[in-house]
Amino acid sequence: MAPRCRRLFRLLAASTLLVGMLSVAAPADARAGALCLPVHLTGVGQDQGPDAQGNLVTTATISFAGFPIGTTRASFTPSGPPTGGVLAFTGPIVFTPSGSTATVTATVAGSVDLATGTFQATSTSVTAAGVPLVVSGALTFRGTENLSTGAFTETITGRLCVNRR
């Protein structure tokens, strides 16, 4: 695989950002010239607790078909006190592919159930830095955190599209 294709694969496979199932049949987006791919990734991570500003920080290793392809670091701002045992949050999840300095950022809004550890977050925007591509799409992060240890697993699904700048 050519170096340029490898970089694109790593970038898309992110997430946030993130591409799974590389079935590149035909671009399927309303935007002409965009290449859109489905995303299906898994993550294993750790809740790092609050930072100095009170934002909730997480880190994770992201995998495609069981193979690690990169890492994420997220910083979530709670949207207020929990309501009915559910804490709402917003913030960026930044994916860095292995062996790259490029990043894909999914800004999300989500919630976590403080009794079960179940969480869900949906992207409100997706952007890329360090590549000559415009990235767009929608990602959903679903998983469960062990509220005693802070360890979590997640599934990342959605669709990402890329277009040259």
Decide: pTM greater than 0.85. no
d(CA 75, CA 57): 5
Two tokens at 124? 């409100």
d(CA 163, CA 86): 37
The per-residue b/e assignment along 108-146, b for 16 or more CB within 10 angstroms, e otherwise, is: bebbbbeeebebebebeebbbeebebebbbbbbbebebe
Q: What is the pLDDT of residues 54-97, one digit of tens each?
A: 999 999 999 999 999 999 999 999 999 999 999 999 999 999 99
> 3 falls in which pLDDT band (50, 70, 90)?
low
